[in-house]
């Protein structure tokens, strides 16, 4: 018979708001909130994760139903016992395999929403095109104006150069010098005064036309269409659409992405959000380019004046020096006059000075205009062109929080492995889940490991040294769930308890675990694991043997259990509902637990008599029964223990029994060596369970499924898995 996994699907409806101040009237009129929980447990029989298909099939079995369409769990707890998962290989693989169909449908829907939100209407496109045309027209006019300016004042503007020469004071000086040479006696001082006067008025006459043209071109450069005004409709739509996109992004508070998914999101947002950036960039660049162009214009004007003035100064300095020496060296003056003025050389000199001042500035202004236009074109090209939305279900990063008890090398040598629990958060849940770091003196945090564990472990291992137990602990993880102001703290626990202990010990461990959840302020608790409880309890008169050791009609005690609790063994219709024989049923439902335990019996009184072990019905006060702990549902499935491959029980078929169609069978191997000592503790039992509890009486649990599920064929574990789907309903 194939081992089955018990699957507990727990859904909690938020009908009760925890630690949220709301008046009673508002609560009464609100629709109850619902929070869905999926919890499962499996004792792996001291297996290591090896990446095999068998392991992955096991993981799928333990989460089968967590993503049922329309009832997807908001959070999943998976507990393993006797399992080694180095660096959380299986835990990570399971994260990638969780909510796959939901992820696909949700991301497809998100993609459609994004396409609608990022598609601008026709009027927005029209506003963009209108501004683009206005900008093109303005650049064309500005270029035309600049060409006229260049032709009038550029390095080959001969009319301007002639004007510079005609209006030049130094030109007047050269002509005056000729007159003085001809008639030196008629008043050198008077001629120098005329030169000084001309030097003051000549620049304004020389450059007035240029100054007017510079001012006109500067005005034209400042008449660019205003992006802020022209693109107002584009900006308004973009702001609205971007708000819609942000709302779509944040609709799922737990949704996270792998690195590539985050990259695609950035690209989409950056490309979509370029409208406001482009408008602001256009404003900033046009302002800066306008300043640069005006500075170039001013530099053009001042540069020409400076370079022409430099040429004039060079000439005037020489001529004035000659004037000063005129009485001593008239021949030198005549020589300089001839070399500087004969055949239009004065005009050439001034023209060269003007051309030198103009050439660099004209090129600089042309570069600014070209750069300016290109920047505007590139900016407009980005408008209303978001990148394709490439994020899909493969880019989702499902959150996985582990909590491990590492049994250590001593236990590993004996093939006794760890106790570990994984918690997964639905990326599309409308509840926001935040893992809460928690530990206490009685629940210790785990240091080291490949991923930090935020929860803690309660160490219940008994014994010491080489005889110490392995992995007999409780894992605890705490999550804060929030939705619309309602806070609900959900806690997951996973345990492996000792079959060697007594019912009282296991009751005590359960009670202590529940006290720990109170310290952690848990509102709802889901407690999974291999509780190792057996059918050895009683609610009637004392019997000689506990139920798991009884037999009748020549059948084995194994048959006795299956015949009593399974109405049709061949179809697997079994139930543990309300049975007081089950230890866990008594722990969660009876004020006193009455279970059989092995004790030392009195000797027979003879000299050589020795005490023997016998069964004693022990009654113990039960604090657990009053704290509201309950099972996901009464087990109505076959026992989850003890299972084996059919070939294993070939020699002792009386102690094995198979359900039709199962690859694993129930088998008690304890007496296989002697064929005598068959221990009832190894008979079939419901050891693997899902329990739950709420600290608020207003919360209701609605269990949608509570199942045992088969382990993969060939998987060597004597347990089946159990899973539960539960809804928490809060007022």
Running along the chain, 731 residues long, what does each successive block of 10 average in pLDDT? 41 34 39 94 95 93 95 97 94 94 91 86 86 87 83 76 70 64 58 65 66 78 78 82 84 89 84 69 76 78 69 68 59 59 58 66 80 81 78 91 94 92 96 97 90 96 88 98 96 96 96 98 98 93 91 89 81 84 96 93 61 88 96 95 88 85 86 76 96 92 95 88 97 84
Classify residue 714 by burial, with Cβ atoms within 10 Å: 0-12, 13-18, 19+.
exposed
What is the reported pLDDT for 11?
Answer: 41
What is the reported pLDDT for 23?
Answer: 34
Q: Which helix (H) or strand (E) holds 613?
A: strand 612-621
Residues 483, 359 share a domain: no
What is the reported pLDDT for 211?
Answer: 73
The pairing of strands 612-621 and 630-631 is unpaired
Among 327, 353, 382, the domain boundary falls at 382
Q: What angle do CA 368, 372, 377 make, to 5 degrees?
A: 150
Query: Which pTM was predicted?
Result: 0.76
Among 338, 356, 382, the domain boundary falls at 382
The domain that contains 628 carries what CATH number?
A: 3.60.10.10
Phi, psi torsion values for 564, nearest 5 degrees: -75, -40
In a domain, 391, yes or no: no
- Provide the H-helix boundaries in 557-662: 557-565, 583-589
Is 631 in contact with 526 (CB distance < 8 Å)?
no
What is the reported pLDDT for 5?
Answer: 41
In a domain, 219, yes or no: yes
Residues 139, 75 share a domain: no
Residues 189, 81 share a domain: no
Q: What angle do CA 92, 93, 95 make, to 5 degrees?
A: 65
- Provide the H-helix boundaries in 342-481: 345-382, 408-413
Residues 357, 411 share a domain: no
Is 527 in contact with 624 (CB distance < 8 Å)?
no
In a domain, 605, yes or no: yes
Residues 166, 37 share a domain: no
Residues 416, 345 share a domain: no
Residues 203, 322 share a domain: yes
15's tokens: 């009908």
Q: What angle do CA 329, 174, 351 make, to 5 degrees?
A: 130
Residues 677, 622 share a domain: yes
Residue-number span of the structural domain to which 464 is assigned: 4-99+398-662+669-730
What is the reported pLDDT for 349?
Answer: 66
In a domain, 442, yes or no: yes
Residues 489, 419 share a domain: yes
In a domain, 116, yes or no: no
Q: How many domains does the chain have?
A: 2
Residues 474, 599 share a domain: yes
What is the reported pLDDT for 206?
Answer: 62
In a domain, 490, yes or no: yes
In a domain, 117, yes or no: no
Q: Please name which of 205, 212, 202, 203 lies closest in space to residue 149, comparing C-alpha atoms.
A: 212
Distance in angstroms (rounded) separating the CA atoms of residues 409 and 89: 19
In a domain, 112, yes or no: no
Residues 303, 210 share a domain: yes
Residues 89, 193 share a domain: no
Distance in angstroms (rounded) separating the CA atoms of residues 720 and 90: 18
How far, in Å, are 42, 456, 678, 701, 726 from residue 729 at the CA level? 27, 27, 46, 6, 10
């Amino acid at each position: 018979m194939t081992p089955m996994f018990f699957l507990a699907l727990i859904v909690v409806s938020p009908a009760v708001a925890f630690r949220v101040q709301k008046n009673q009237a508002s609560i009464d009129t609100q629709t109850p909130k619902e929070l869905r929980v999926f919890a499962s447990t499996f004792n792996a029989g001291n297996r290591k994760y090896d990446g095999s298909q068998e392991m992955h099939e096991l993981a799928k079995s333990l989460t089968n139903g967590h993503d049922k369409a329309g009832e997807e769990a908001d959070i999943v707890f998976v507990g393993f016992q006797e399992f080694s998962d180095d660096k959380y290989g299986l835990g990570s693989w399971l994260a990638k395999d969780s909510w796959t169909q939901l992820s696909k449908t949700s991301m497809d829907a998100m993609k459609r929403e994004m396409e609608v939100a990022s598609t601008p209407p026709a009027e927005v496109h029209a506003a963009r095109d209108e501004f683009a045309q206005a900008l093109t027209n303005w650049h064309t006019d500005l270029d035309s104006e600049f060409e006229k300016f260049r032709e009038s004042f550029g390095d080959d503007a001969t009319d301007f150069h002639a004007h510079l020469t005609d209006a030049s004071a130094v030109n007047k000086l050269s002509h005056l010098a000729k007159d003085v040479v001809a008639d030196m006696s008629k008043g050198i001082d008077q001629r120098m005064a005329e030169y000084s006067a001309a030097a003051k008025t000549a620049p304004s006459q020389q450059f007035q036309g240029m100054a007017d043209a510079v001012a006109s071109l500067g005005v034209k450069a400042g008449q660019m269409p205003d992006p802020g005004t022209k693109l107002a409709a584009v900006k308004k739509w973009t702001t609205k659409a971007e708000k819609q996109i942000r709302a779509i992004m944040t609709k799922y508070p737990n949704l996270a992405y792998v690195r590539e998914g985050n990259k695609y999101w950035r690209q989409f947002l950056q490309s979509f959000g370029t409208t406001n950036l482009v408008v602001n960039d256009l404003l900033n660049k046009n302002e800066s380019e306008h300043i640069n162009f005006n500075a170039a214009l001013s530099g053009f004007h001042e540069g020409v004046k400076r370079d022409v003035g430099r040429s004039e100064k060079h000439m005037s300095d020489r001529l004035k020096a000659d004037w000063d020496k005129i009485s001593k060296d008239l021949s030198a003056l005549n020589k300089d006059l001839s070399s500087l003025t004969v055949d239009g050389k004065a005009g050439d000199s001034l023209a060269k000075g003007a051309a030198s001042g103009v050439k660099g500035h004209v090129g600089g202004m042309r570069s600014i205009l070209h750069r300016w236009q290109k920047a505007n074109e590139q900016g407009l090209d980005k408008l209303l062109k978001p990148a394709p939305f490439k994020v899909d279900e493969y880019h989702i990063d499902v959150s996985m929080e582990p909590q491990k008890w590492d049994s250590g090398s001593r236990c590993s040598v004996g093939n006794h492995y760890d106790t570990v629990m994984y918690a997964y958060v639905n990326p599309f849940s409308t509840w926001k889940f935040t893992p809460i770091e928690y530990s206490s003196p009685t629940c210790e945090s785990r240091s080291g490991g490949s991923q930090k564990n935020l929860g803690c472990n309660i160490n219940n291992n008994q014994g010491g040294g080489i005889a110490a137990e392995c992995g007999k602990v409780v894992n605890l993880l705490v999550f804060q769930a929030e939705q619309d102001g309602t806070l609900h703290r959900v806690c997951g626990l996973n345990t492996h308890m000792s079959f060697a202990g007594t019912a009282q010990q296991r009751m005590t461990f359960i009670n202590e675990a529940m006290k720990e959840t109170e310290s952690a302020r848990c509102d709802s608790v889901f407690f999974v694991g291999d509780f190792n409880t057996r059918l050895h309890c009683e609610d009637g008169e004392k019997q000689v043997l506990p139920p798991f050791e009884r037999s009748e009609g020549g059948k084995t005690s194994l048959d006795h259990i299956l015949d009593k609790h399974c109405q049709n063994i061949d179809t697997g219709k079994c139930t543990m509902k309300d049975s007081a024989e089950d230890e866990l049923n008594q722990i969660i439902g009876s004020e006193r637990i009455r279970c059989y335990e092995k004790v030392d019996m009195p000797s027979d009184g003879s000299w050589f008599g020795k005490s023997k072990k016998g069964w004693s019905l022990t009654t113990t006060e039960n604090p657990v029964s009053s704290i509201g702990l309950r099972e996901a549902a009464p087990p109505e499935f076959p026992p989850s223990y003890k299972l084996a491959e059919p070939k294993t029980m070939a020699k002792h078929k009386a102690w094995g029994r198979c359900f039709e169609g199962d690859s694993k069978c129930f088998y008690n191997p304890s007496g296989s060596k002697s064929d005598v000592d068959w221990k009832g503790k190894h008979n079939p039992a419901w050891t693997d369970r899902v329990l739950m509890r709420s600290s608020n009486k207003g919360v209701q649990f609605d269990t949608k499924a509570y199942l045992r599920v088969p382990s993969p064929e060939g998987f060597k574990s004597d347990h089946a898995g159990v899973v539960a789907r539960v809804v928490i309903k809060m007022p």
